[in-house]
Structure 1
Amino acid sequence: MKSTVNVRASSLLAGVAFAALSAAPVFAQTAPVAEADASTAAEAEANAIVVTGYRQSLREAIDIKRETIGFSDSIVATDIADFPEQNLSEALQRIPGVTIEREKGLGTRVNVRGLPTEFTLVTINDLATASGSGGRDVEFDIFASELIQSVTVQKSPTAADEEGGIAGSVKIRTARPFDNPGLRVVGSVEGAYNSISEEIDPQFSFLASHTFGDFGVLLSVSKGQRTNRTDSNSGINFRPISRWTDRGNAQTDQALAVLERDAGIVFDDVGDPDEVNRVVFLDKVGDRIYLNDQDKLGFSGSLQYRPSDQFSVTFDAFLGSFDTVEDEYDAAAYSASSRSTLDVIHEYDDTTLADSGIVVLRDVSYTATQHEFLSKERITETDYRQFGGEMNWAPGNWEIDLLAGYSSASKSRDNANLKHVAYAPSRTRYTETGGETIPSDDPNTIDMYNSPQSYLFEAYETTYEEIEDDKYTAQLNVTYNFDGVLKRVNFGSRYTNKTTERQYGEEKIQGPTRGDTSYVNERTLADSELGYVTEIVGGKDYQAGDLDWQQISNDYARDFFRPEGFLSPFDDGQFYRVKEETIAAYGMADFEFDIASMPVFVNAGARYIKTTVRSSGFHQVQNPDGSTGYTDEPVSSEGSYEKVLPSFNAHIELASDLLIRAAASQTLIRPALTDLAYKRTASWNEFRFTDGNPSLKPTYADQWEVGIEKYLGSDGLLAASYFWKNIKGVVQNELTGVVEDVTKYNANGTIDGVYDFDVYQPVNADGSYKVSGVELVAVVPFRWFHEALEGFGVNANYTFLDSSLTGESDLDIPTSPIGLSDNTYNATLFYERGPFAARVSYNHKSAYVERIERNMYPVYRDAYGQVDLAVSYQVTDNFRVELQGINITDEATTGYTMDPAFPTTYEFSGSRISLGVRAQF
């Protein structure tokens, strides 16, 4: 009896396994069965189990790539189920040129071709989506990947695109009923185990779709929990010695004396920041444990009316929630406390960073280190929703498409920090993987991890923030088709209206009752209920060092110090609203003709964009009555810009399976709305204010690309391309002013001192910089080498970047742009034959600049590689068992300041093993 299993890429992923790689690049296709004589083939057909899931999805995706006029790559799922990663961003990381940023072991934002995340435009069903981040970059971790039908990364724009995105555009599409006509019911359930938290998290997904006559309806839901523990020895950063040399007191005298005595350092001009800021020490060393509990719920629905191939109306809905509670338990030593200074320099390094003239004090005893025990709680709730309507009508040679939609996200952040402090002499130094604080030789020193009676309660700090992010879109697109060389003319217009609004407040509670200060400097850490942190969070021993220490749990802190129902009241001075309206009109034409019997396809067009931005908020001004202090006054600003953006895409078929592509365009990416906002953020320990800048303009790019693609029948692909971008007006933070005589207070209300604060703002940097790169793709079935290797194959890609840009260091230290990774590569080894499938994947991203510490010292996220594994077995026609492993080698996340000799981060988030069952009827 013939047994056929239809395991489509349409398979529901809700969870686990079948494909840590099912998100792999979409180029490989089904390897044909080796030829045999007719009788053998007939017998094989009668007994074979045909598996079409992953292979079918790859076939569909490769068709998209081949037929697209420009450069693009895709992931396709014929139903809800082909993204079994932890979230959507991790599903995308195996597409050529796509990498992700990880935060505590979880993929969050997407980079295309190594460029910063804010250079990428993201749409869902052709609508630019809101995520509540307040920026342009989308937080992919909020979206349930099980609700996604397909994702295409478009790397060369056309005139009809909303924006090109300097890096590229990520186009997400949710499922629709006529994608697979008829009745379908698909569901899956899984349990996932984290190796550090030792928790098992449930997840399920369900999809039901039915078409009846001209109508179709689809509903899907995904619900999942994730408990992840991250252990980290981190927060280790450079601090310039000007921390003390600028004070002009006894601390300054001692610091200068110790520098000369122990390191032979004497400044020519102690008032010259360029000289003094090149002597640095370890500002702060922390050991911390994070426990992150996530609850993700997503729904998608689609109604379609499709009486014919020439007319259809679709309504899509995509909504859900993403709620997290993160507990952080932090034991840290702040060497640069306001009452401290240098005591003894045990070791310094004047050679590693000699090219930058920087001397690093590697091992130092300090006179009064600020030791801190911090119990932090962060509660974040995000609700997102998107509704869209689309009409497609093709009367005769005409095609008329209407699109309208609304995208919105609401986010709240309720944060608390219980702070206990002990001032005492200590010794802080670098270790091989990070840093540590140990007792010094001073008789008044303490063992910071085991002296709870030495820590005084300082404050229970609370903040509360609400962000509303809304966007409305309407578009009309009209096409007329011809029969000659000119195949079609397309023109249209688009209107978008985007608004971001933010409220923020903070308050320090000085005792168990709001406003009660009687416990300040009296209550110690030992007076509260303590527990070992590994017992509070549960799971294994601390992974980043041989340590354990006692702290106050967040449950106890909330119950004792925080009044019931309390939220920090909003501060009018922290409010801002940014509204952006854009009107666009575009036109383009497609041409098809032959050159020496070789088909040529050309698309050329241009888009006109006019944008108006209105920013409102508050700004600090000196009190009008002449008294000391500042008053928040409302302020607003309006600006506009317009631009014509041409585009060109073409390809020529040298042979039926050999294509050459070319593309050129001008494109832009708009500044983050948070950068446009009227607001001032204070960094008290850095003596800095950061302001928004309503006058920011977009970042523009001129770009071109050329590539060659060799299609290997239905089996694979070899491709290579070279791309070049000239980027102008990149947004950087620069010093734009100084606020004099700012009074800085300690947490207990005492005055720390009066200082001049630098003011930094985002600005469009002068000049331009160039980025060029090479992208390679190889998908090869091993059956080609020997028939015994039937079912085996490899899918690999590599992206290399070269950039002329140097970073924004005030010390003129050369660095790559923030977020730009020089090279990335992904390799997937897979086996699929009969009911069994297995894949192992390795994804690598090279080191990149994560931030510029104090606008002076580049801090790098180290190169990172991760191994994922997936195995599945089709038990019956309707049921499949799936096993998946993420980061199975338990790789650590590491970072450093300028050179690996000065580590900043040593972090473990563990591996994740999932077991699940999928059913399809």
Structure 2
Amino acid sequence: MNPFKSSPFIKSSIAIACCSILYATPVLADGKVQGRITDASHSVYFGGAKVTVKELSLKTVSSRDGTFSFNKLPAGNYTLVINYIGAERVEQAITVVDNKVFEKLFVIGEQQDAMDNIIVYGQSAGQAGAINRQKNANNLKSVVSADSIGQFPDQNAAESLQRLPGIFIARDQGEGRFVGIRGIDPNLNNVTVNGLNVPSPEAGVRSVAMDVIPSELIQSLEVSKTVTPDMDASAIGGSIEVKSLSAFDKAKQSYSFTAHGSYNELESKASPKLSGSYTNIYELDGGVDLGIATAVSWFKRDFGSRNIETDGGWSEFKVEDAATGNDLTIMGAEEIEQRHYQITRERFGAALNVDLHTSATDKYYLRTLYSDFSDDEYRQRNEYKFSDGKLLQSSDTTGSFTGAEMDRDTKDRYEEQSILSMVVGGENQLNNWFVEYNVGYSKSQEKEPNRLDVTFAAENIDMGYTARTDTPMLTQSANAHDLALFEMDKVEVINNTSDDEELSFKLDFTRDFVWKNNNGEFKFGFKQQRREKRNDVNVAIYDGDFLNAMGNDFATLAPDYDLGKFGPGLSRHAIAQFVSTNKATFDLNSNESRVESDGESYISNEDITAAYAMISMDIDKLHIVAGVRYEATDFDTQGNQVELITDEINDTESVTTTPWQVSKDYDYFLPSLNLRYNINDKLVTRFAYTNTIARPTFSDSAAYQLIESETTEDDGVIETQRKAQVGNPDLNPYESMNLDASIEYYPGTIGVLSAGVFYKDIDNFIVQQEVQGNVGWDGFDEVVQMVNGGKASLTGVELNWNKTFKSGFLLGANGTFINADDKLPNQADTVANVLIGFENNTISTRLSASYKSKSFQFDDADMAVYEDSHMQLDLSSKYYFSDNINVYFNATNLTDEPLYLYHSDKRYNYQYESYGRTFELGFTFSSL
């Protein structure tokens, strides 16, 4: 039986089994224990601690605010045991009375010497909390705390995650943006903020650009590599949970303020950054506690990059032989580009969280997060078009051409991305049931207003290239740098908006039970999500009557470019002013503008209804989480079929636009099993069998068709060629069956040594294919479409070790090693991190290296494009003047590691981009 396909018989059986558990098993008695775990000074609360009622073998884990509870206990005397890595084991005698609540504040760490009590006073406190939560989790999980984030020069949530085992990041302009898990593309993972799914601001994708979330707004980051039934199933690689700060994370009022300046070596520019946070708990009448937490972060960074890339890679193309005039087919670079970027990146983030605790069992909350991210980018580009010239000589790595064409163009773009997340909810103990619920709203948006792309073209230029590792060497005649020969050839004014909006509702019920003297928990729930993805493209293409404007009318100083001869620059301000003043006189190419605008605009709606049931049970040292999840999806997409019809015989050109709407429904039944076996207090083993899915990206599944029909006559023969690029609303989601097994050793001090293996069998893999000749595409010469392309699988090993020594030294290393059957996008065989550091009450320093081996990206011209291996070295250091004030110095990308993509062989450049080093100096003032 296929576990992914829902079965009425199976669903009925599960419902009967659940009812049997509810009504045929005894509940516990009426006593109650409520506690909170703190330190000797009552200034810190500890989440992730394992708490056990020894005589009853009842176990729980303290929440992020240090609280825990046991409900329905029989009257009697018991021993409460608290285990927390980094502190001595605590045992406390308690007495439970029927219909009474035993309530107490439990202290850990008070038996330790103050100098050794790094749980409370040292910078390792956050790491200790993360390790405890990881150890006691129901599933395989990695955690990063706010304190750990602050120990590295990470600018955003993506970069904070890269140091965890099995995690890699995809970078944009040298800064981490998207997060991948265990070799799986970021589009196939799930991201939530405070339990709420985060829609993506970028057009067409599902992957969330996590560089829009400043690291200062984060309380913790959790990566679940296996899922439980109460989690969303859209997590083939895993699920990332971003938790923002809460007032109840602290024992009293807290505040912090940070200011720093950064310096980018490549651009020789300095940039400011400010952030602050405040939390407090207010005691109201009737024992009600109101917690307020807020944080703000602002960062403005001036930087840039230097780039050289081969458009279309290295492939076969036709060119005229300069000596004979015959057409030849050669292998080489059809076009090579030099690019120079100047960027101002600004990030603003704010969080406001409100918690209302009316009793120990009745809690309500409001979580909000807003982030605004903008790039103000000016790119200058030289395009060497070898295919437009005549061939002088060539080999597999060189080419020399005469009479070729060259473009010099600019991109003047301001792009703004924003994320708004709001969730209101609560939890209540209602007799035998623990109820949790929330309503969430989130919206992501990307705006690209008044983008201006301008092209200048020149002819009869002699040029050549020589392929070599990383960067091709370009040669050109002197006229290649004479702007007086470059005529304004094309102007594009672009206004794009992408909106991704989601409304959700979630309701969960939990009930404790006893089965054959084994303590268990039954949980079931429902979730409804309504999502709309809108891509609105508005392009105006002008291709004539530019008032004889030439490149030298806009000349400026040559940009600083170290990858070859670039030539004089083009003034951003002068070009923008000229277009603004004269645009009304330009010739608008209405057909091309309509094709671009109508063809790339669409609206997709996705409604997901989910239900689940699960059982958690402790049988001696074995903890079991087993259950099923059902997800039904209603998908609807509206776009256009756009056809550009060119008739060269009658010299006509026209465009037809036909609305196109498609609906698709599908559902999945997803069983899972997570096992944790505690061999002893220090040694934990895990096994998981899970089934997950990943829905197609919105651009792949959108209802759009871009068709080109061209009619020509040659020697009296009339021929019509038709080509198309089309979306595929009938795509099925990826389906993955996952197996995980691991062993973890926790030595009792702050640290962990672990090893794990995992296997993923992925069906319905989505690939790009030519589908001409298929049903509906008869008579087409070429049709490109994303289709479900069979299966792919991967097997991996994950190793992790980190330890904080009493001397203050820190050591850490992790590596993930993957063997994949097929070319999985963004899949690297090896991902690794190494950390060495030292810290005490005065100094904290860390040197860290992040490594990712080469990874397949996509196919181009029937050859694979790979991203080369990448290793980045970062340094962070802090000096504490007191418990309240520290100064810090960070250095990022110490070895000036570039981004390099190549076409099949490292000699054949696809993209090379360098960013330079960045240095930061700042200070933080905070409460204890």
Q: TM-score range by the shorter chain?
A: 0.7 to 0.9
- Cα distance in 2 for partners of 1:867, 1:687 equals 51
Native 8 Å contact 1:7 1:52 kept in 2:
no
Task: Say yes or no: does 1:496 pair with 2:565.
Answer: no
Tell me, what secondary structure is at the counterpart of 1:54? coil
Note the 1:484-883 alignment, pairs <5 A: 484-510=517-543, 517=545, 519=547, 522-526=548-552, 528-534=553-559, 541-545=560-564, 547-563=565-581, 571-594=597-620, 599-620=621-642, 629-680=654-705, 689-737=724-772, 758-766=782-790, 768-781=791-804, 790-805=807-822, 816-854=823-861, 856-883=862-889
| Secondary structure in 2 matching 1:308 | coil
Residues of 1 paired with 2:231 and 2:906: CA distance? Answer: 42
The 8 Å contact of residues 602 and 648 in structure 1, kept in 2 or not, is answered as: yes
In terms of fraction of residues, the more strand-rich structure is: 2
1:336 matches 2:387: yes
Measured at CA, do residues 299 and 286 of structure 1 come closer, stay the same or move farther in structure 2, by a change above 3 Å? Answer: same
Once the two structures are TM-superposed, the CA of residue 419 in structure 1 deviates from its matched residue by 1.0
Summarize the alignment of residues 415-434 of structure 1 with structure 2, pairs less than 5 Å apart.
415-424=451-460, 425-434=462-471
Residues in 2 aligned to 1:736 and 1:475: alpha-carbon distance in whole angstroms: 41
1:910 to 907, 916, 920: 916
Superposed CA deviations along residues 149-181 of structure 1, whole A, max 9, x for unmatched, are 111000011111012511000111111111114
**Is residue 2:472 matched to residue 1:435?**
yes
Deviation at 1:145, TM superposition (A): 1.8
In the alignment, is the contact (CA less than 8 A) between 1:156 and 1:164 conserved in 2? no
Distance 1:396 1:756, change over 3 A: closer
For residue 233 of structure 1, report the CA deviation from its aligned partner: 2.2
The aligned runs of 1:438-457 (5 Å cut-off) are 438-439=475-476, 446-447=477-478, 449-457=480-488
Q: Deviations over 1:695-738 (max 9, x none)?
A: 11100001111111111112321100000010000111111238
Counterpart CA distance in 1 for 2:216 and 2:277 is: 10
Q: Relative to structure 1, is the Cα distance of residues 624 and 759 closer, same or farther in structure 2, using a 3 angstrom cutoff?
A: closer
The aligned residue for residue 413 of structure 1 is 448
What is the Cα-based RMSD across aligned positions, in Å? 3.3
Higher relative contact order (CA 8 A, sep 6+): 1
Alignment deviations for residues 729-782 of structure 1 (CA, whole Å, 9 cap, x no partner): 01111112389xxxxxxxxxxxxxxx986221111113x121000000011345
Deviations 1:287-332 (A, max 9, x none): 2211111111111011111022211000111112111111111122
Counterparts of 2:426 and 2:685, CA distance in 1:
34
Match of 2:243 in 1: 173
Per the TM alignment, residue 343 of structure 1 is displaced from its structure 2 partner at its CA by 3.1
Tell me, which stretches of 5 or more residues in structure 2 are unaligned?
1-40, 48-83, 89-109, 284-288, 711-720
In 2: Cα distance, 1:84 partner to 1:864 partner: 18
Q: CA deviation at 1:31?
A: 10
Question: Structure 1: which 5+ runs fail to align?
Answer: 11-27, 33-40, 245-249, 260-278, 349-360, 440-445, 511-515, 535-540, 740-754, 784-789, 806-815
Closer, same or farther: CA 6–857 of 1 in aligned 2, 3 Å: farther
Change (3 A) 1:170 1:284: same
Superposition deviation, residue 95 in structure 1: 0.8
**Correspondent of 1:219 among 294, 298, 317:** 294
CA-CA distance at 1:571 after TM superposition: 3.2
Task: Give percent identity, aligned residues only.
Answer: 23
- Whether the 8 Å contact between 1:49 and 1:835 is mirrored in structure 2 is no
How many Å apart are 1:251 and its aligned residue?
7.3
Alpha-carbon distance, 1:561 to partner: 1.8
Q: Determine if contact 1:532/1:551 at 8 Å carries over to the other structure.
A: yes
SS of the residue 1:91 aligns to: helix
Q: TM-score of the superposition, structure 2-length normalised?
A: 0.81
Change (3 A) 1:46 1:667: closer
**How many residues in Structure 1 have an aligned counterpart in Structure 2?**
796
Q: What secondary structure sits across from 2:123 in the alignment? A: helix
Aligned residue among 131, 147, 163 for 1:62? 131
Whether 1:310 and 2:341 are equivalent positions in the alignment is no
- AA in 1 matched with 2:642: Q
Alignment-derived partner of residue 295 in structure 1? 346
Cα distance in 2, alignment partners of residues 128 and 612 from structure 1: 17
- Give, in whole Å, the separation in 2 of the partners of 1:913 and 1:326: 21
Q: Is the 8 A contact 2:351 2:369 kept in 1?
A: yes
Task: Decide whether aligned partners of structure 1 residues 255 and 472 sit closer, same or farther in structure 2, where only a CA change above 3 A counts.
Answer: farther
CA offsets 1:411-455 (integer angstroms, 9 cap, x no match): 11243222111122322222343213314xxxxxx3255222222
How big is each residue's C-alpha offset from its partner over 1:181-231, in whole Å with a ceiling of 9 and x where there is no partner? 421121111111111111111111111111112111111111111111101
Query: Would you say the 8 A contact 1:30–1:714 is kept in 2?
Result: yes
Mapped contact 2:469–2:906 kept (Cα < 8 A): no
- Alpha-carbon distance between aligned partners in 1 of 2:821 and 2:308, rounded to the nearest angstrom: 33
Normalising by structure 1, we get a TM-score of 0.81
The answer to whether the aligner puts 1:127 opposite 2:196 as a matched pair is yes
Distance 1:419 1:329 in 2: 10
Whole-Å separation in 2 of the counterparts to 1:853 and 1:211: 58
**Equivalent pair of 1:468/1:500 in contact (CA under 8 Å):** yes
The whole-number CA distance in structure 2 between the counterparts of 1:78 and 1:185 is: 14
8 Å contact kept, 1:588–1:605 = yes
CA distance in 2, matches of 1:863, 1:622: 42
Offset, 1:53? 4.9
Structure 1 contact 618–678 (Cα < 8 Å) conserved: yes
Structure 1 residues 76-122: Cα deviation after superposition (integer angstroms, max 9, x where no partner): 12699567412211111001100101122111100101221111111
Question: 1:47 deviation in Å?
Answer: 12
Task: Report if the CA contact (8 A) 2:470-2:906 is conserved.
Answer: no
**Aligned partner of 2:160: which letter?**
A
Cα distance, 1:300–1:681 mapped onto 2, change above 3 Å: farther
- Cα distance in 2, alignment partners of residues 543 and 227 from structure 1: 19
Structure 2 SS opposite 1:336: helix
Deviations along 1:627-666, one digit per CA (max 9) or x if unpaired, are 8634101110111111100010001111221111000011
Structure 1 residues 31 and 399: CA distance shift in structure 2, 3 A: closer
Could you tell me how far 1:254 is from its partner in structure 2? 5.7
SS of the residue 2:737 aligns to: strand
Write the letter of the residue equivalent to 2:562.
Answer: Q
Change (3 A) 1:465 1:251: farther
The amino acid across from 2:602 in the alignment is Y
Q: Is the 8 A contact 1:5 1:877 kept in 2?
A: no
Counterpart residue number, 1:458? 489
Q: Is the contact between residue 705 and residue 726 of structure 2 (CA under 8 Å) also seen in structure 1?
A: yes
Deviation at 1:543, TM superposition (A): 3.3
1:14 paired residue number:
none
Gap change, CA 1:60 and 1:765, over 3 Å in 2? same
Greater shift after overlay, 561-570 or 197-206? 561-570
For residues 204 and 683 of structure 1, do their structure 2 counterparts lie closer, same or farther at Cα, with a shift above 3 Å needed?
farther
Instruction: Give the SS at the match of 2:679.
Output: strand
